[in-house]
Chains A and B, each alone.
Chain A
Amino acid sequence: MTIEPQQKLPAYDIGDIQEKKFRLRFVQILLFVFFGIVVLRLIQIQILESPMYKIIAQKQYQAKFLLPAARGVLYDRKGNVLASNSQLVSFAADPKIALEDADDISKKFSKIFGKPKNYYLQELKSDSRFVWLERMVDLKYLKEFDVKKMTGVIVRYETKRIYYNDYLAGQLIGAVNIDNSGISGIEQQYDKELKGVDGYVVFQRDGLRRARPSVDYPRVEPRDGNNIYLTIDIQLQAIAEKELKRGVEENKIDRGLVIMMQPRTGEILAIAQYPKVDPNHFGKYEMEDQRLRAFTDMFEPGSVFKIVTASAAIEHNLVKPDRKFNAEKGSYKVYIGSNKKTREITDAHKAEILTFQEAMEMSSNIVMAKISDIIGAERFYKMARDYGFGIATNIEYPGELNGVLKKPINWSATSLNTMAFGYEVGVTPLQIVCAYAAIANDGVLMKPLLFKKEVDASGTVVRASKPQKIRNVISHSTCETLNQFLEGVVERGTATQAKVKGVRIAGKTGTSKKLIDGKYTTGDYIASFVGYFPVEDPQIVCLVMMDKPKGISYYGGTVSAPVFGAIAEQVITTTDITSRLTPVIASVDSGAVSTEIEKNKYMRASNLVPDVRGLSLRKAIETLKTQGLIPIVNGSGIVSTQLPSPGAPKKRGMQITLICQQKNNYDIGMNDQTGDRK
């Protein structure tokens, strides 16, 4: 080797060498300290804090996927489907993973769903780890994508509540929100029962959210929601709605309602309300129309309340039916207290002399006021209370009102006379129906029922309602007298328009002025008629209430009674009234039934789409084919989802879409419930 020329033997002094040594030593120490820091940090993370990180990491590697329980089906009393489910699909994404593919994904979604590309791009730029792209769309869209090719896109199957009869009993049934929770009506009342218990399965997952089943955790199967049978009869419901609509339209009425009840059991057979709402699109209606006014509205009943006066007078044997009263030619001045102030009570039907019975038939306020003086405050109050006024019926339904029935101690000098013909009290339509049902039920007040039974997925009855007697309100003989009075109302009194040939009908009209801002206005009336038939063995109590008639007539007898008559006539002609109210499936194939009924003909409990979920594909196809259904297959393996859902009405030749998954392949479509990094 050669020594390069510039290399001379340098002459350094000691200070130089020491400084040089120091500089190197300085850097060495720096490095040693650096090593020390790294080691300490490793001790901290890998030894001291390791248990904490292990827990966090485990959570990150596991995904608890929800196996949603199917919401229970709502049936009417005979097993016709009112509400069921359909399978839809939602698309979501994890922007963290979609990252590079965001543009492609946006383009594709924009092409298929028609929204601007930027809409999806915006979502995919979000900082969150879970964004919805499209919610609740038809299953057919699944075929448009190769989801596995789109990194970060998540598919979620979701069920949507379907109300098969659209408007039928809309308010009564209520609705669910987008998360399938009941927010109104029956759906809200029995949300817990209908909801079921979601199952889950724990998966191992990776950073792309791809998952595979974990062997360490058992799969917890969902328990589907229980099915609920209501006391409603969709056939009667359809009749009520059809006739209500006609009555409302003929009389130019804002709102109206019809309630039908079986007096013997207290079971509600129909609740119609106008304007109608469609539970499939519940949100678009006003709050006023969403709620079930039959339970949640209070009004001053007017003359229909006179049964309280009559009952008290007869029950206590104070006034005989043929006792004559001076009807004051329609105008009666009552002195109030000592200062000679008077108050005028008027009758629409002016008369000189009326018997008690005639006064009921002609609905004389004057005579009723006079009779109430004979009865006295305490007895009157007790009778009203016994009929159930002033307290909620405790029907299983959200939002029921108590009504208002003041105690005698709070009454003014005129209160008794006023209450005798149905003012100064607040009642719900339901309370009125219950009171009349008590008369039709030989004086026994029954608790009103909407709930018939709750049945679980295996068909076991979890809970069933039984007719519940509340109290004896009036005696048998009082009932007979009242029957006679009320039949007279229809035969020759104010409600002759409710008459139907061949059936004895009893009932009472009511026309009350509406209390608006504390004043009774002459323009606003509530016209009502409540009655029952056949009188000899009452099967149905029916209330027709019309709010604010604007036509030529506003009386209960001219506006509501004809609707009652039309309903009664159809009920009698299209149904076998004595046997039809038993839970046996009755014949519905009668020509005169409305189209809504036609639509439901095939919805029999025995005639529903079978549940093939969980079956192997081969078995599922076999099952469907033997029942005359056409399977459409999507995927292979085990059937995970079917459309229409089990329990949906079955038609011969109907197509059933089956979505299958390999048993251990849950790459897509599961509901991520960990939520830690959403």
Chain B
Amino acid sequence: MNEHRNHIDFWLMSAVLTLMLLSLGIVYSASASYAQVKMGDSEKMLTSHAIKVIMGIFGMFFFIRLDYKVVRRFTKYALILAVVMLFMTLVLGVVSKGATRFIRINSIGFQPSEFAKYALLFHLSVLIASKQEIIDDLRRGFYPMIFWVGLVTALVMAQPNFSMGAMIFGLSMILLFIGNVRLKHLLLTFAVLLPIIGLYLISAEYRLRRVTDFFSGVSSGTVPSNYQPWQSILGFGNGGIFGVGPGESKQRDFFLPESYGDFVFSIVGEEYGFLGTIFFLAIFFYILIRGLRISKNAPDTFSKYLALAITLSIIFYALINAGVTLRILPTTGLPMPFVSYGGSSMVFSACAIGVLLNISAHTELHPRAREVPVIGSVDADNVELRKVY
């Protein structure tokens, strides 16, 4: 299969690299004031972010070169490792802002939930692909899948990290939905879980307040928990069409909390205006289109679902993050992939893109190949068939 290496989706890679490089400038601008005041060095966070970007690029290239079929063999162990790490996080994690979300290994802290998310999605892709024939069977098909989903979701929510848990659960359900799991099973799962999630949601005051404040419709910053989204919108609005210019953000000067992290998109809107935000959205849209295409042309069922899982994860994150910063959605703690400051997301998402790119190398996208009628274009498992041509 090595001949296909030359055909990795170059444009997809370019799009992702563009985001990662642009994020350097944006995170620098967004974090400079904060880093100056809290750490005494305005470039401290830029440096840290740049390291993560480099790590991400290395990770990406590693997975581009690693055959996805090798990845397939390790998904189960990766998922078990992820579960173990989530347990460890609960027991000896670093407490930050009221939750234990990080663990430290040799002073490098990272969020196991980011790793767990991809491990789960990868393994679900394996399970869906291998159980297609028995997918309707509750015991043999559905239970094994929902077991892992439930376990990981519960462990993440226990940190407590509601938004991440909800995202993992939602992405898994979407993947299972596309993966032909019986609707009845999915609906039953929701019926059982929704009350539990609802209870969890109202069990912490800040979570409930975020939601009620969001729906109360108070748009100005007068409600304390609305302060951040209100400041975010001010940034977008002040940016207008053309933006206030690179490095000219004022919202980052302690008006907008987390301006470099979950609310970095607002800084994009402020400095680069509508043109900037549309450009970023366009890149994500492009990633979606390329991801769907890779999935469509994927060589086998596993890679097909895996490509979908990776694409959907990144796009949903981007959209939900944008939705939060624009106050379409209540405040969550989700980063914008490849843009926000936050190492774990950057590194793991880059690795996932690496896997996606590796899959793309196994598809034939050149014009001649398209003319070839591939049997069962949706489920072209048998690579050997193609090799006939």
Contacts and interface: CB of A to CB of B under 8 A. Distances in A.
A43 B254 CA distance: 26
Contacts of A41: 326, 328
B322 A57 contact: no
Contacts of B239: 46, 50
A27 B315 CA distance: 12
Interface string A199-213: 000000011100000
Interface stretch (A18-26, A240-248, A577-585): A18-26
A217 interface: no
Interface stretch (B21-29, B51-59, B114-122, B376-384): B376-384
Contact of A7 (B224, B227, B238, B300): B300
B254 A208 contact: yes
B238 A54 contact: yes
The B interface is mostly helix, strand or loop, or mixed, namely helix
B378 A17 contact: yes
A42 B278 contact: yes
A60 interface: yes
Contact of A45 (B301, B308, B326): B326
A167 interface: no
Nearest to B274: A46
Interface in A88-121: 96-97
Contacts of A462: none
A599 interface: no
**Which of B177, B227, B241, B250 has the most A CB atoms < 10 Å from its CB?**
B250
A10 B379 contact: yes
Contacts of B384: 3
Contacts of B381: 7, 9-10
Contacts of B379: 10, 12, 17
A38 B376 contact: no
Interface in B129-173: 130, 132-133
B238 A35 contact: no
A215 interface: no
A411 interface: no
Contacts of A4: 69
A362 B306 CA distance: 122
B277 interface: yes
A254 interface: no
Nearest to A24: B178
A96 B228 CA distance: 12
Contacts of B241: 46-47, 50
B335 interface: no
B354 interface: no
B322 A208 contact: no
Interface stretch (B9-17, B87-95, B205-213, B229-237): B229-237
A677 interface: yes
B178 A53 contact: no
Contacts of A9: 381-382
B292 A1 contact: no
Contact of B234 (A6, A56, A97): A56
B312 interface: yes
Nearest to B131: A6
A34 B239 CA distance: 22
B218 interface: no
A208 B376 CA distance: 61
Given A43-B274, A54-B240, A207 B180 contact: no
Contacts of A127: 224
Given A7-B382, A53-B237, A27 B326 contact: no
A206 B178 contact: no
Interface in A61-111: 61, 96-97
Nearest to B382: A9
A373 interface: no
B326 A47 contact: no
A61 B383 CA distance: 61
A46 B383 contact: no
Contact of A207 (B133, B255, B315, B376): B255
A678 to B, nearest CB: 12
Nearest to A48: B237
A221 interface: no
B288 interface: yes
A250 interface: no
Contact of A20 (B236, B273, B378): B378
B238 A208 contact: no
Interface of A: 1, 3-4, 6-7, 9-10, 12, 16-17, 19-21, 23-24, 27-28, 31, 34-35, 37-39, 41-43, 45-47, 49-50, 52-54, 56-57, 60-61, 96-97, 127, 206-208, 677
Nearest first, the 8 A-B pairs at minimum CB distance are A53-B237, A207-B254, A206-B253, A57-B238, A207-B255, A46-B274, A50-B240, A41-B326
